[in-house]
Amino acid sequence: MDKKLVYSLNEGSSEMTEILGEKGANLAEMTKIGIPVPFGFTISTEACSRFYENGGKMDPAVRAEICAKVSELEDVTGKNLGDPENPLLLAVRGSAPVPMNGALKTILNLGLNRDTVNALEKMTGDKRFALNNMLDFLASYSSLVMGVDEDKFIDLYTQKSGQFCTDKDDLLSIGELEDLEEEYRNLIHEETGADVPEDPIEQLENGILALLRQWMSPDVVSYRKIRQIPDEPGEAITVQAMVYGNAGSSSGTGVVLSRDPTSGEKRLYGEFMINAKGSDMQRGIRTPMELSIMGAAFPDVYDRLKHICEILETQYRDLQYAEFTVQKGKLYILQTRRGRRTAQAAVRTAVDMVSENLIDRKTAVLRIDPVSIENLLAPRFDPEQEKDAKVIAEGIEASPGCACGRLVFSAEQALQLHQIGEPVILVQKDTDAEDLAGIYASAGIVTQRGATTSHASGAARAMGKACVTSVGDDLEIADDLNSMQAGDKTYYRGEYISINGFRGRVYEGQIHMIPPDLSGDFGKIMGWADEFRTMKVRTNANTPEEAKQGMDFGAEGIGLCRSEHMFYQGNRLQLFQRMILTEDPEKRREVMEEIKQIQRADYYEIFTVMEGFPVSIRLLDLPLQDFLPDSRRELAAFAEEADLSVGSVQRVADSLRENNPMLGRRGCRLCIMHPEIAEMQTEAIISAAIEAEEKMKRQVDLEIVVPLVISVHELNTVKEVISRTAQKVMKESGHKIEYRIGSMLEVPRACMRADALAESVDTFSFGTNDLTQMMYGLSRSDTAGLISEYIDQGIFPNDPFKTIDREGVGKMMQRAITLGRRVKPNLRLGVCGAQTGDQDSVQFFQEIGINYVSCSPFRVPVARLAAAQAAIRLGSGKDE
């Protein structure tokens, strides 16, 4: 049987998004469960693929099926396309399998021509209504099908009325509307040399072709690229009988969410506009009323809407977003989809839905986007400072979060500053799909116009950015986009402002941030995640403070303590430099003793913070050169301050300089060239552990990790230094402690020799930063620009330093695991590169049998959740 290409709305289900697009599939589902949806049909994504396979021509089979569906629609509605007495008028909308945020356009009132507009007037007894719909049709059709700039229609309307959209529906007289229709038609003719066809069938065919073409238009392609939406399977097109929200005072249009998308509270949330159409809502030009106010004016419709939301939630078992139209008191649902929500609302909704028996706990855990919870972990403004900060504008709290950044007034300016690493706050009149890259690059967004459902708000929520909208006249942006006026003060581009998306406020200057609250529903979800999780999550921590932060976020140990990072604070750097640059052995020993005491104190504190959880301390791994003063002048100044001879300091420095330090004397190579450093560190670690055990009266779970290992001889050489020194310290103190030795796996050769290495150690810790750097031959510190260019050109699917490269680096890890576990089945495996904070990578680590991941403290909850989700998805999670 030939493949079906066009589906009536009573022929599909929500499972069919790949075929019917998200909109078409959900309309079909609603039709199936008896929700009032205007009847129609959906042209499948398969038809879109055929259109492109046919070189941009409509497949005759698709055309034939569309004709049949139009006839069916005519039968169901009792109206006919082009009928001068009772015309069928259509809404034609594009939709993809995933939400496209308004990037795909719509044609409304298709089927109107000089005859049918008269019929519309006769049927409704309202000429103004008929003319307004004609204007909508001319603008939406000619902009999409004929390429006329839609703003030009807005200009014409504004010239006539003084404003584009208004609460007064009698702003233009009938005569003026008739004139405007002619002006619209003249504009179309002047711009294109052609007219809008009168024949509704021709209109429909042209409209469908234009909607199919828009899938590959530059704007839509770039939108897909930003959101990483694949080209396949393409766009579906839904054709429905028109219903009118602009049919008088008992009509209107609105959007509803079944729960509050900001807090997650269980109450209807949304907006409604009387006598208006959907595009009026989206433009946010008229101020809509809150749904609760609509409830007082239209109690029956409100009750029905509430009932429908309950049905939708039961059907979809999730927070739903729906668009609706009320036509002369009758309610229609025009689309429904999973409602976007803030991280806070996602957590509350998931927890509440478990207690309402709508979902189980595993589903609740899977519902939370691990990356989004970083929002909850994000610091907020210090209330003391916020209290005193100068408020320069107030608006609607459109997307939660707090942000400080430099003022910019266009997406382009945002991108420029973002590229040089500056945080920016984008302030615009409003935003549309073309601003998405700018919104993405910004820390926060402020718009003069808009509502919680308008473009900027939706996009900001989706990207987890703070957003304040509808600040109105509080801010006046200068035409040259270089400054804005707020009250009597001018703020220039580049100046700092702060915004609070929880409170809808814009402040002058920068405000100090404080840490978040992690109890309540968040704590519950994380608790459930921990129950299902099988992989451990540790934190990378170099100081006692970081260790504490990681533990507060739920870490189960330290997976990586980078010893060299201890020397970046205060005057420690100078001490370290003295250790490297002092030639005289006696003086050098004195400095090393001082350093040892500092390290010992740090390690001691770390052990006591960790209260017996595992701590992996890595021996020093940094090219010594990185600790040297940069210039000769600085070297001389250093020598003078340290009371060393300039000549000797320069001699040592010269001997340490390397052309390629990342591939030079670093990692365990340092320990071999300078065994006294490894000895000093081991003494510090072991003596701190002894002291901590005595103080805590419990065992320290210690592992000493050897960095950047290449060969088993190298590993054993360092291991011998560690063991000998540890023995000596234990003997001197009379206190024996247990400790393990681990090897970092960061060099491809080490992975290939993992069987030999496994004979010597108990743990492998994959350093996926270096492993990626060495396998790609790409510097981890200098190639961000190159990598983003490669991603733009489609050469790399993503940044391998952020998401593990399963096919290359991942394969190497798997090889090492197989070799290592063959020798030592219980070999403990950890990963501590930056990819451990990434959801996909965590899933991969679960798949290949890693025992723990270790990430920066702020990423610990992300990794806990991602690990739980991976375990649930792979069926390896513990049961409820």
Enzyme catalytic residues: 455, 832
Tally Cβ neighbours within 10 Å of residue 27: 31
**How many residues make contact with Mg ion (CB under 5 A)?**
3
CB nearer Mg ion, residue 691 or residue 770: 770
3-class SS string, 412-449: HHHHHHHHCCCCEEEEECCCCHHHHHHHHHCCEEEECC
Q: Which stretch binds Mg ion (CB under 5 A): 203-211, 628-636, 770-778, 782-790?
A: 770-778
Q: Which stretch binds Mg ion (CB under 5 A): 34-42, 173-181, 185-193, 745-753?
A: 745-753
**Exposed (0-12), middle (13-18) or buried (19+): which is 162, by Cβ within 10 Å?**
exposed
Q: Report how far residue 847's alpha carbon sits from residue 866's, in angstroms, rounded to the nearest whole number.
A: 12
Instruction: Tell me how far, at minimum, the Cβ of 540 lies from ligand PEP, in Å.
Output: 7
Hey, is 273 helix, strand or coil?
strand
Instruction: Rank residues 203 and 540 by Cβ distance to Mg ion and give the closer one.
Output: 540
CB of 666 to ligand PEP, least distance (A): 9
Of 273-281, 693-701, 765-773, 866-874, which part binds Mg ion (CB under 5 A)? Answer: 765-773
* 558 torsion bin: left (phi>0), alpha (psi -120 to 50), beta (else): beta
462/340 Cα distance (integer angstroms): 7
Closer to ligand PEP at the Cβ: 353 or 809?
809
Minimum distance between the CB of residue 779 and ligand PEP, rounded to whole angstroms?
A: 12
| Interacting residue with Mg ion among 261, 401, 458, 767 (CB under 5 A) | 767
Window of 265-273, 359-367, 405-413, 767-775 that interacts with Mg ion by CB under 5 A: 767-775
For residue 339, the cross-strand partners are none
Residues 467-496 that bind Mg ion (CB under 5 A): none
Task: Kindly tell me which of 281 and 560 has the beta carbon lying closer to ligand PEP.
Answer: 560
Q: Does 564 bind Mg ion (CB under 5 A)?
A: no
837 makes contact with Mg ion (CB under 5 A): no
CB under 8 Å to 233, separation ≥6 — which residues? Answer: 18, 19, 45, 46, 48, 49, 97
770 binds Mg ion (CB under 5 A): yes
- Part in contact with Mg ion (CB under 5 A); list of ranges 334-342, 432-440, 537-545, 743-751: 743-751
Q: Strand 444-447 to strand 424-428: parallel, antiparallel, or no bridges (unpaired)?
A: parallel
**Closest Cα partner for 14 from 3, 27, 33?**
27
State the residues that interact with ligand PEP by CB under 6 A. Answer: 560, 562, 621, 746, 767-770, 832-833
Name every residue whose Cβ is closer than 8 Å to that of residue 682 and which is 6 or more positions away in sequence.
Answer: 704, 721, 722, 725, 726, 729
- The distance of closest approach from Cβ of residue 565 to ligand PEP in the complex, given in angstroms and rounded to an integer, is 8
Angle between helices 45-53 and 60-77 (to 10 degrees): 150
Give me the least distance between CB of 843 and ligand PEP, in Å please. Answer: 19
Residue spans of beta strands (DSSP E) within 370-423: 380-381, 391-394, 396-399, 402-408
d(CA 154, CA 143): 12
Q: From the list 46, 435, 746, 838, which residue makes contact with Mg ion (rule: CB under 5 A)?
A: 746
Least spacing, CB of residue 790 vs Mg ion, in Å: 22
Select the binding partner of residue 832 from Mg ion, ligand PEP, none (C-beta < 5 to 8 A, by kind).
ligand PEP
Residue closest to ligand PEP, measured at CB: 767
Closer of 313 and 746 to ligand PEP (Cβ): 746
Round to whole Å and give the CA distance between 729 and 705. 18
Q: Work out what residue 810 binds among ligand PEP, Mg ion, none; the CB cut-off runs from 5 to 8 Å by kind.
A: none
- Specify the stretch interacting with Mg ion by CB under 5 A; choose among 255-263, 751-759, 764-772, 871-879: 764-772
Q: What is the DSSP letter of 253?
A: E
User: In this complex, which beta carbon is closest to Mg ion, that of residue 331 or of residue 809?
Assistant: 809
Q: Which residue, 93 or 780, is less far from Mg ion as judged by CB? A: 780
Least CB distance to ligand PEP at residue 618 (A): 8
Distance, in Å, from the CA atom of 612 to the CA atom of 693, rounded to the nearest integer, reads 9
Residue type, 562: R
Rounded distance, CA 534 to CA 539, Å?
16
Instruction: Residue 208: name its binding partner from Mg ion, ligand PEP, none (Cβ under 5 to 8 Å by kind).
Output: none
CB under 5 to 8 A by kind: which of Mg ion, ligand PEP, none does 444 bind? none
Q: Under a CB-based contact definition with an 8 Å cutoff, are residues 134 and 181 in contact?
A: yes
- How far is Cα 584 from Cα 575, in angstroms, rounded to an integer? 15
- As a whole number of angstroms, the distance between CA 140 and CA 124 comes to 22
667 to 164, 565, 621: CA distances (angstroms): 67, 14, 4
Alpha carbons 445 and 468: distance in angstroms, whole number: 6
Task: Give the shortest CB-789-to-ligand PEP separation in angstroms.
Answer: 23
* CB-nearer residue toward ligand PEP: 529 or 750: 750
Judged by beta carbon distances under 5 to 8 A according to partner kind, the member of ligand PEP, Mg ion, none in contact with residue 799 is none
Binding region for Mg ion (CB under 5 A): 746, 767, 770
